[in-house]
Structure 1
């Protein structure tokens, strides 16, 4: 059997602010993100296996991405923990808001790198992460490809 790419898509809502940015995105705002995760591998060829013919069960991929990304980031506000936004983050946390502090500027570019790392760490050994696409708006997205990051 040949090598196949499998893609699963996800949606989640997340707020963020870009400290030091010279435009509107310096303000706290949110996006309806669309995340596409593509893995690559060979379909299971052993007909005695329950997942015969699959590269990975879509349900298994969904579980990984939901646990690592969607359930964590959905309806959260993301701030770089190394900026003065930390004060705002603490205030929101004190008011029982879901805040995520990261060690990077929470742009789509940096988030997609973070997401790829988290997903790669959870995939079965015979499955490789091919790409991750994080769409921030209808016309803007960032993509991570394994081939660009070897």
Structure 2
């Protein structure tokens, strides 16, 4: 049976700042991110299986991405924990803000790598992560492909 790619799209709002950057993005700002998650696998052949004919139930994929990415990053502010931004992060947390400290510069490129690792660990063994597309603005995005890694 053929391999089939399944894609589900997600939206979330996240703030960030790029420490040491030489442009406007050094300032705290936010984006309406769009994340497209594509997995690949063979449709289930067992007609007694409730998921018969599916590669993966869209609801199952949604649960994984929601728990690993959307629920954590939506309306959060992301800072590199290895920069002086940690002081700002601590102050924001004291005031009740949702802050995520990561060990990378929170660019779309680095975030999509992080997301790929989080999603891959949760997928069933017979399903592989094929690609991710993280759209930061209407015209700017980063893509991750398993075949490139």
1:1-150 matches, within 5 Å, as 1-149=1-149
Structure 1 vs Structure 2 CA RMSD? 0.3
Cα deviation, residue 137, structure 1: 0.1
For residue 51 of structure 1, give the secondary structure of its aligned residue in structure 2: coil
Aligned residues: 149
Secondary structure of the residue that 1:36 maps to in structure 2? strand
Show structure 2 runs of 5+ residues with no match: none
| TM value normalised by structure 2 | 1.00
After the TM superposition, list the runs of 4 or more consecutive aligned residues in structure 1 that deviate by more than 2 angstroms: none
The CA distance in 1 between the partners of 2:24 and 2:66, in whole Å, is 30
SS, match of residue 96 in structure 1: coil
TM score, norm. by length of structure 1: 0.99
User: Alpha-carbon deviation of 1:53?
Assistant: 0.1
Distance 2:24 2:3 in 1: 44
Deviations 1:103-134 (A, max 9, x none): 00000000000000000000000000000110
